Amino acid sequence: MGAPAPGVIFPPRDLPSCALDPGSPTCMSEASKVEAAYGAEQIQVLEGLEPVRKRPGMYIGSTGPRGLHHLVYEVVDNSVDEALAGHCDSIVVVLNADGSCSVTDNGRGIPTDVHPRTGKSALETVLTVLHAGGKFGAGGYKVSGGLHGVGVSVVNALSEWVEVTVHRQQQVHTQRFERGQPIGILASVPAPAGDEERTGTSVRFKPDIEIFSVGIEFDYQTLSSRLRELAYLNGGVRIVFRDERPAALTADGEAHEEIYHYVGGIKEYVAYMNAEKDPLHPDIIYVNSEKEGVQVEAALQWCVDAYSDSILGFANNIRTVDGGTHIEGLKTVLTRTLNAFAKKRGKRKEADSNLAGENIREGLTAVLSVKVPEPEFEGQTKTKLGNTEVRGIVDTLVGEALGEFLEFNPSVIDLILEKAIQAFNAAEAARRARELVRRKSVLESSTLPGKLADCSSRDPSESEIYIVEGDSAGGSAKQGRDRRFQAILPLRGKILNIEKTDDAKIYKNTEIQALITALGLGIKGEDFDAKNLRYHRIVIMTDADVDGAHIRTLLLTFFYRYQKALVEGGYIYIACPPLYKVERGKNHSYCYNESDLRTTLDGFGEKANYTIQRFKGLGEMMPKQLWETTMDPSTRTMKRVEIEDALEADRIFTILMGDKVAPRREFIETHSAELDLAQLDI
């Protein structure tokens, strides 16, 4: 149906000759002109916080919602660092009615004396100088969190205004800043009666609308998830989160407030994650120890009704979504220790092969938190711990505590080993099933499923695959697609719910096998390698009805449980086909939701003549319509599936797709008020 519009997904193809041949005379002459005009006056020198306002994405990742909420995290991280140092146990975060956010702690308070190098107060220095703070060197903090180390100065630079209040040494110090610049000097007055011994810092800031063009409204759920996580990771710290914005007030004018306070720390975290599951053993295995300045805290519990593991790793309170040396150390010690116990307790003979790591970890929920004085992060997103010494430290400390616990709890180790051996046997059955599929594929002289209509491109970075339901939708999609870069895989009916299915059944399922083979996913439990992926955009395109929504949920469950890295890497998309086609005379328009339809009809004015076509299935759409509305990169809308909160995602999948009916019913009843049931299409 034609190539995609230039610049939408692929680079433009009508490039100027010098871009295609940099050595051409035309290009050389242009370069000479540029070089002649390039002198000292073209060199920009950005001072103070100007670089932050000039290139905010370099400091907070983006100027979208993620970057906006990062401002809050930077301020909260400072308070958490005070808690890590033992000087703070209370943090209050408030979303104010004027759109600003306040973070108040009872730590030591930012120093206010004159800094010897800047000649300004330490408070003004911290707020106006990049990389100024107590986290560099060994003087201020032994361990600190925060991902980029950019600190509150970046918050100051990207805010319309900031007001800081410090209670310290029986004084109250205040200073205001606007778009990074101090307004006046630090003002200090004696603390009021009864408040003389109070210490701490309060930072109130309003993000700058000039920077965050998408808006500066904070999302309550996004912030609450992170604050709850921080409370779990720092047991004993009390975090109060209050929303005083008008929309959040009760009928009595009361603000919405939640308190996160978990004395049990990450043990309570694991208990929360497993609340909707059946634990294999009631007592959570807990490790809290320190070696060579590295603090290791771990909590582990296996569950009966889970066929995959859920391991959350943190380094200095940073969620390490890409793993790292601490996770490697944990996996290594689990495999070695449980295999040793399997031989010791006669569950495996000396001649038997060892249980694989994925067998041992099946059904495991674990939280591992390490605090490292000098953390080294790898990868583009800086969410993979690289300190090599941490691997051995985690191995040693977890190994000692785990071995001691299992020695005194023989019934627990027996239950864990029995589940691991069942997983091993299921994996063997799955392997045999895979071999049968592979041999069958070889006999048929094709390793790809016959129903796959592949694209001609062999470059995964520009290729995309649409997973559609049924032959009817598949037919329209095949005819409407751009064969050069778009592949189509039709599925028959609803795929297997792998949330409550063992591996052997997964690999015997025809539709699941087609997905695995077509996408190049490899084996469940193996480390994800993007080089084996055949398409970098995997698009779920289902009908806009209840069955379509169910199939979409089953597919999301498959991707999340079978190969979570696909979702974390941003490879999964959801297509957004229109619900209606509105025709008036020779003109027509497509509406993607009820709001679009109302707006379109309102634009016609009263008793106007028009017809409305409701698309209940993709197969009802002509191939040209499907291309124009849903598949053409220049006009389509697609939603990329992302994980903002790994804990909540894991919990919701368990509730909605697991065996237990009661939690699912409770979830539906609780959230039904949020739905417009009058528009429910059954």
Q: Are 357 and 366 in contact (CB under 8 A)?
A: no
The pairs formed by 69-73 with CB atoms below 8 angstroms and a separation of 24 or more are 69/218, 69/219, 69/222, 69/223, 69/226, 71/101, 71/154, 71/155, 71/158, 71/159, 71/205, 71/207, 72/101, 72/103, 72/218, 72/223, 73/147, 73/226
Q: Are 177 and 161 in contact (CB under 8 A)?
A: yes
CA distances from 368 to 272, 409, 413 (A): 15, 22, 20
Query: Is 596 designated active site?
Result: no
Query: Is 547 designated active site?
Result: yes
Catalytic member of 328, 545, 596, 659: 545
- What single DSSP character describes residue 190? E
- Distance from CA of residue 353 to its chain's centroid? 37
Q: Are strands 364-371 and 310-315 parallel, antiparallel or unpaired?
A: parallel
- Distance from CA of residue 175 to its chain's centroid? 36
Helices assigned H by DSSP within 533-593? 546-562, 564-568
Closest CA to 286 of 401, 126, 173, 164: 401
Closest CA to 560 of 616, 498, 482: 498
Q: Are strands 256-260 and 238-243 parallel, antiparallel or unpaired?
A: antiparallel
CA distance 334 to 422: 17
Q: Are 180 and 166 in contact (CB under 8 A)?
A: no
The angle subtended at Cα 579 by Cα 465 and Cα 550, nearest 5°, is 60
Residue 19, number of CB atoms within 10 A of its CB: 11
Helix (H, G, I), strand (E, B) or coil at 601: helix
Q: φ, ψ for residue 629 (rounded to 5)?
A: -95, -30
Residues near 154 by beta carbon (within 8 Å), at least 6 away in sequence? 49, 52, 59, 60, 71, 74, 130
Closest CA to 110 of 94, 92, 126: 126
* Strand locations in 570-635 (E): 572-575, 580-584, 587-591, 611-614
Query: Is 543 designated active site?
Result: yes
Q: φ, ψ for residue 277 (rounded to 5)?
A: -115, 175
Catalytic member of 89, 328, 400, 547: 547
CA distance 462 to 477: 18
Catalytic member of 124, 322, 454, 469: 469
Q: Which secondary structure element, helix H or strand E, spans residue 203, and what is its range?
A: strand 200-207
- What single DSSP character describes residue 655? H
CA distance 402 to 337: 8
For 197, the token pair is 């011994």
Q: What is the 3-state secondary structure (H, E, C) of 302-329?
A: EECCCCCCEEEEEECCEECCCCEHHHHH
Give the residue numbers marked as catalytic: 469, 543, 545, 547
